[in-house]
């Protein structure tokens, strides 16, 4: 069935299990997704046992649960699958897994771990308010050990540091000084509603600062509406209710700006995926559909400007000669091509190598202690590929992939827009 939490059948545990066994049978006969994530080799190992003989109806409930928990929602199997809608077999493996997690959460309650990891705004607000203390505790071994015991968040996992000033505070103070908000009397110019992401708002405002500088350099008027987390961390834990609540809040504030001619632009691949793909399914209203139709990833939007001849190629700042660019899964899942790589290649005298390898971080999944070793093993393949090229700079659109690479190797990846900002000679904006 379609991913529709408003349908009472969606919440039927027995029906969910029947659907999973049906889809597992289809996957058993195909196996195209074997190399994508741990769920598929685990599923096929279970099915290849002599007593199972490839029959998904013989899977134990614990085996089904193991396949579900190993899915980290990269979404790539959907693009690989030959049986997705409108095929009669109607296979959507990642959304089926989300359904299973949601049903389990409704039956057993959302765990403390998933409540904490899901509520990015609550954690972010308090983390930035007490940034020095929060950052110190995240580096303190005793505290991290206690945190793991209470929440299951891996004590060895590097966590993002909190900024002392939130991006929205910086933006609004700067906008008051520069009077750059949208008005009906504004001259005809490209207009965007900037969806900043939790990472930019609470952890790395430099990415947002660079994005605003680059957009304004190219004559784009930027509005920053009130917003909440896109909801993906909630969705990871099966918390449909809070995901829908955040989606409604965001759509209510983005839709009026879309009506005024804005494109919704976000630097976060997961957020652009959520706004484009999940919000229309979760909310099932025309406002969500309109927001989805007018949402673009930041680098996707900048390449669109370039194709229109509206992107400045006036690069006067320092540029790295060799960049390793990591392509995030949630950009691949959008089927928009290699926009960030193509954008970096516009910088003169710069070589860009595309690294197409999963980081193994995958949102909140990689923060959980029970998946830490597997997550690290996946990441080592990525880090090896990056280090082999000995690049002068490393770029990725995904802040958690960047965190994983830094954790495993000491590399300090940047968002592509930060490199572009410096190439324009605008790096001082990231120091404000």
Instruction: Provide the CATH number for the domain around residue 410.
Output: 3.40.50
Do residues 297 and 203 share a domain? yes
At 182 the pLDDT is: 47
Do residues 420 and 334 share a domain? yes
Do residues 181 and 303 share a domain? yes
Write b or e for each residue in 76-87: b if 16 or more Cβ atoms lie within 10 A of its Cβ, otherwise e.
bbbeebebeeee
Do residues 401 and 344 share a domain? yes
At 187 the pLDDT is: 54
CA 1 to chain centroid: 25
Alpha-carbon distance of 386 to 180, in angstroms, equals 39
241, 274, 307 - which closes a domain:
307
Neighbours of 109 (CB within 10 A): 12
> Is 132 part of any domain?
yes
Do residues 104 and 116 share a domain? no
Alpha-carbon distance of 38 to 378, in angstroms, equals 10
Do residues 340 and 408 share a domain? yes
Longest Cα separation, the chain: 72
CA 352 to chain centroid: 22
Do residues 383 and 270 share a domain? no
Alpha-carbon distance of 226 to 224, in angstroms, equals 7
Which ranges constitute the DSSP H helices of 83-231? 93-108, 112-118, 120-129, 131-139, 141-151, 167-178, 198, 205-217
Q: Which residue has the tokens 């405002």?
A: 205
Kind and range of the H or E element at 395? strand 393-396
At 181 the pLDDT is: 47
Contacts of 362 (CB under 8 A, 6+ apart): 72, 73, 74, 329, 375, 400
Do residues 180 and 141 share a domain? no
> Is 1 part of any domain?
no
> Is 313 part of any domain?
no
| β-bridge mates for residue 265, sequence order | 194, 296
| β-bridge mates for residue 296, sequence order | 265
Phi, psi of 322 (to 5 degrees): -140, 120
Of 362, 301, 302, 298, nearest in space to 329 by CA: 362
Alpha-carbon distance of 306 to 419, in angstroms, equals 17
In a 10 Å sphere around its CB, with 0-12 CB exposed, 13-18 middle and 19+ buried, how is residue 175 labelled? middle
Q: Which domain holds residue 302?
A: 167-307
Neighbours of 61 (CB within 10 A): 8
This prediction has a pTM of 0.91
Q: Are 238 and 369 in contact, with CB atoms under 8 Å apart?
A: no
Contacts of 92 (CB under 8 A, 6+ apart): 3, 78, 84, 85
| β-bridge mates for residue 297, sequence order | 266
At 365 the pLDDT is: 87
Do residues 298 and 390 share a domain? no
Task: Render 297-330 in DSSP notation, one character per residue.
Answer: EHHHHHHHHHHTT-S-----S---SEEEEE--HH
Peptide bond preceding 31 in cis form (omega within 30 of 0): no
> Is 193 part of any domain?
yes
> Is 315 part of any domain?
no
At 180 the pLDDT is: 46
Q: Which residue has the tokens 């959302």?
A: 110
Alpha-carbon distance of 131 to 137, in angstroms, equals 10
> Is 327 part of any domain?
yes
> Is 316 part of any domain?
no
Distances (CA, A) of 205 to 123, 166, 210, 343: 16, 7, 9, 21
Do residues 65 and 193 share a domain? no
Do residues 300 and 194 share a domain? yes
Pairing verdict, β 295-297 and 191-194: unpaired
Which tokens belong to 170? 């910086």
Alpha-carbon distance of 32 to 77, in angstroms, equals 8
> Is 162 part of any domain?
no
Of 134, 143, 114, 200, nearest in space to 398 by CA: 200
pLDDT values of the chain reduced to their tens digit, one per residue, 432 residues: 567 888 899 999 999 999 999 999 999 999 999 888 899 999 999 999 988 888 999 999 999 999 999 998 888 888 889 999 899 999 999 999 999 999 999 999 998 888 888 999 999 999 999 999 999 998 999 999 999 999 899 999 999 999 999 999 999 988 766 554 444 554 568 999 999 999 999 999 999 999 999 999 999 999 999 999 999 999 999 999 999 999 999 999 999 999 999 999 999 999 999 999 999 999 999 999 999 999 999 999 999 999 999 999 999 888 889 999 999 999 999 989 999 999 999 999 999 999 998 888 888 888 899 999 988 888 888 888 888 878 899 999 999 999 999 988 888 899 999 999 999 999 888 865
At 54 the pLDDT is: 87
Could you give the number of structural domains in the chain? 4
Do residues 171 and 279 share a domain? yes
Alpha-carbon distance of 355 to 341, in angstroms, equals 10
Alpha-carbon distance of 362 to 153, in angstroms, equals 14
């Amino acid at each position: 069935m379609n991913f529709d939490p408003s349908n009472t059948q969606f919440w039927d545990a027995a029906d969910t299990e029947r659907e999973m066994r049906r889809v597992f049978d289809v996957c058993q006969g195909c196996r195209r997704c074997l190399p994508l994530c741990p769920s598929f080799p685990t599923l096929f190992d279970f099915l290849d046992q002599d007593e199972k003989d490839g029959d998904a109806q013989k899977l134990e409930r614990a085996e089904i649960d193991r396949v579900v928990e190993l899915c980290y929602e990269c979404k790539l199997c959907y693009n690989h699958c030959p049986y997705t809608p409108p095929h009669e077999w109607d296979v959507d493996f990642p959304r089926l897994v989300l359904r299973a997690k949601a049903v389990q959460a409704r039956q057993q309650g959302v765990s403390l771990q998933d409540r904490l990891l899901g509520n990015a705004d609550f954690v972010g607000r308090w983390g930035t308010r007490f940034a020095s203390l929060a950052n110190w505790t995240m580096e303190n071994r005793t505290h991290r050990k206690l945190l793991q015991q209470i929440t299951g968040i891996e004590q060895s996992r590097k966590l993002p540091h909190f900024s002392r000033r939130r991006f929205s505070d910086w933006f609004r103070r700067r906008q008051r000084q520069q009077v750059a908000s949208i008005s009906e009397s504004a001259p005809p110019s490209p207009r965007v509603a900037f969806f900043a992401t939790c990472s930019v708002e609470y952890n790395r405002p430099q990415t947002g600062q660079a994005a605003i500088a680059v957009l304004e350099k190219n004559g784009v008027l930027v509005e920053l509406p009130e917003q909440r987390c896109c909801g993906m961390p909630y969705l990871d834990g099966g918390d449909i209710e809070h995901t829908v609540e955040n989606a409604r809040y965001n759509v209510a504030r983005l839709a009026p700006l879309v009506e005024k001619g804005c494109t919704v632009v976000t630097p976060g691949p997961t957020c652009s995926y959520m706004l484009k793909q999940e919000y229309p399914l979760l909310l099932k209203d025309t406002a969500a559909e309109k927001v989805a139709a007018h949402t673009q990833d930041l680098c996707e939007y900048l390449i669109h400007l370039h194709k229109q001849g509206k992107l400045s190629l006036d690069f006067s700042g320092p540029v790295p000669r060799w960049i390793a660019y990591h392509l995030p899964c949630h950009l691949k899942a959008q089927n928009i091509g290699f926009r960030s790589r193509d954008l970096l290649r516009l910088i003169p005298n710069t070589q860009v190598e595309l690294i197409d390898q999963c980081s193994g971080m995958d949102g909140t999944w990689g923060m959980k202690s029970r998946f830490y070793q597997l997550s690290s093993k996946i990441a080592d393949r990525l880090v090896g590929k990056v280090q082999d090229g000995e690049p002068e700079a490393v770029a990725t659109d995904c802040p958690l992939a960047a965190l994983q690479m830094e954790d495993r190797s000491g590399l300090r990846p940047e968002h592509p827009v930060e490199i572009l900002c410096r190439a324009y000679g605008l790096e001082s904006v990231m120091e404000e």
